[in-house]
Amino acid sequence: MNQKFLENGPFSVLFEAFEKNGEAVYIVGGAVRDLLLGKRPSDWDFASSATPDRIASILSAAFPNGTLILKGKRYGTIGIDLPDGAKRVSFEITAFRKEESYTDGRHPEDVAFQASIFEDVRRRDFTVNGLWMNRHGVIFDVVGGLTDLKQKEIRCIGRAAERFDEDRLRKWRCVRFAAQIGGQIEPHTREAIVQNPGTDGVSLERIQMELSNMLIGPDAAYAVHELIATGLWDDLLRRTASTDLPVVSKDVADQINALPRVLPVRLAWLFQDAPADCVSGFLKRLHFSNQRIRQVAMLLDFANLNCDDRVGFKTALRQMGAPVFEMALELQKLKKDNTQNRAAFTDILKNREPIMPADLAIGGEELKALGFRGRQIGETLERLLRWVYEAPAYNKRGALLKRAKTWLNQENNNEGKQS
């Protein structure tokens, strides 16, 4: 593990500032875990012997150009955003604390800041997150996290049932961490989830975030299997009133890792056997964005794409857009040989074949000059587009005007006969 980052820049300033003020400060939790796994942490969390007010004072003096974030102060956490050239660096420093009286299954009612680093560590969730590091890169472990990380095992600190009762979201995080490190859940920890998979009190939006991270993670197949096997999936269907969704089959779960790590693709694969309206309702109740829900709904039709139906194929491309359409072809590839469909898609893009009305060689002004009026103009452009879907070579001004004029004359003749 490269420790040079501790010797300069904001890390060095932070450590020196706390030491100068007689306070201990350590890198803790997921940041230490990720460093040991050879990853650059996405979040930098610190723990300190200082009180929250003192943390804020030390940070303000050490980083006068930084921006303090005080929204977590109730729980002892002070954040700071630091300018660092073209990017920004963020830290969160939390006072050593003890937690008691979890009543909502998510947040502690009482937090005491007169604690030691040992007490602070023991109130954390999993042993792999119970490590801490000093400014010299020395790692401390009093909960067995180093051994569990080496064995790729996720284990609760203390009694698993108590840890999960304190914060029920930990059940989902447990599965995600195991999938993330390519490991497994320690048997007693796993059994505690199986015995009580309920997550009442945890917002569905937070569960959606965990699910999303699992599905785009390195081993989504393991995560899906574990969610089903532990009962977490059934609990989620209960909470979202989605028990009518079909069971995710073993084959579907097994193959999900073969897909690009793109969320709408993997969601569509997971729910490929479910009615689109049921899927959309489930995703909406999980607080997915409307754009994400639309993408998944379009992708669910991936099995029906067929380049032999040129109009239907190009209509789907128009509705989805090229990026989503390409995702649909990735999904289809796992179900059947779609070499012809992929080749057709490549040719459409390469030859710049018209897909949108704006791609036609004429527009509304030319049709208006021919005598089309009002709704006729838009309807005729759509009709011309379907015509050139079949034969792209006809997308020339003269050919399109001639065809449009023929249709207009036919309509006028029909109206004359009716009168």
Residue 99 has pLDDT above 70, yes or no: no
Residue ranges making up the domain that contains 395: 359-418
My answer on whether 97 and 165 are in the same domain is no
Model confidence band, residue 2 (pLDDT cutoffs 50, 70, 90): low
Percent of the residues in the chain that have a pLDDT greater than 70, as a whole number? 93
- Let me know: does 188 contact 162? Beta carbons within 8 Å: no
Residue 103 has pLDDT above 60, yes or no: no
pLDDT at 87: 62
Number of domains in the chain: 3
pLDDT at 417: 60
Domain end position, chosen among 145, 173, 189: 145
My answer on whether 156 and 79 are in the same domain is no
- pLDDT one-digit tens code per residue, 360-377: 999 999 999 999 999 999
Is residue 197 assigned to a domain? yes
Domain end position, chosen among 83, 110, 145: 145
Residue 60 has pLDDT above 60, yes or no: yes
Is residue 54 assigned to a domain? yes
Is residue 324 assigned to a domain? no
Model confidence band, residue 101 (pLDDT cutoffs 50, 70, 90): low
My answer on whether 32 and 139 are in the same domain is yes
Is residue 314 assigned to a domain? no
My answer on whether 112 and 225 are in the same domain is no
My answer on whether 19 and 120 are in the same domain is yes
Q: Please, what is the average pLDDT of the chain? A: 91
My answer on whether 141 and 160 are in the same domain is no
Weakest-pLDDT range from 115-119, 202-206, 221-225, 395-399? 115-119
E strands within 139-287? 139-140, 153-154, 184-185
Residue 110 has pLDDT above 90, yes or no: no
Model confidence band, residue 387 (pLDDT cutoffs 50, 70, 90): very high
23-30: average pLDDT: 94
My answer on whether 113 and 141 are in the same domain is yes
pLDDT at 150: 96
Weakest-pLDDT range from 96-110, 239-253, 273-287? 96-110
235-258: average pLDDT: 94
My answer on whether 80 and 139 are in the same domain is yes
pLDDT at 40: 87
Residue 406 has pLDDT above 70, yes or no: yes
Residue 303 has pLDDT above 90, yes or no: no
DSSP letter at 156 equals: B
In Å, what is the CA distance from 224 to each residue of 106, 212, 324?
Answer: 23, 11, 23
My answer on whether 31 and 106 are in the same domain is yes
CATH code for the domain in which residue 9 is found: 3.30.460.10
Domain end position, chosen among 112, 145, 178: 145
What does the alpha-carbon distance between residue 172 and residue 315 come to, in Å, rounded to a whole number?
Answer: 40
Is residue 293 assigned to a domain? no
Residue 21 has pLDDT above 60, yes or no: yes
Q: Where are the alpha helices (DSSP H) in 63-168?
A: 117-122, 145-150, 160-166
My answer on whether 101 and 166 are in the same domain is no
Model confidence band, residue 85 (pLDDT cutoffs 50, 70, 90): low
Residue 301 has pLDDT above 90, yes or no: no
My answer on whether 156 and 110 are in the same domain is no
Q: Where are the alpha helices (DSSP H) in 240-321?
A: 250-255, 263-270, 276-285, 290-299, 310-320
Is residue 190 assigned to a domain? yes
Residue 195 has pLDDT above 70, yes or no: yes
CATH code for the domain in which residue 280 is found: 1.10.3090.10
My answer on whether 377 and 256 are in the same domain is no
Percent of the residues in the chain that have a pLDDT greater than 90, as a whole number? 81
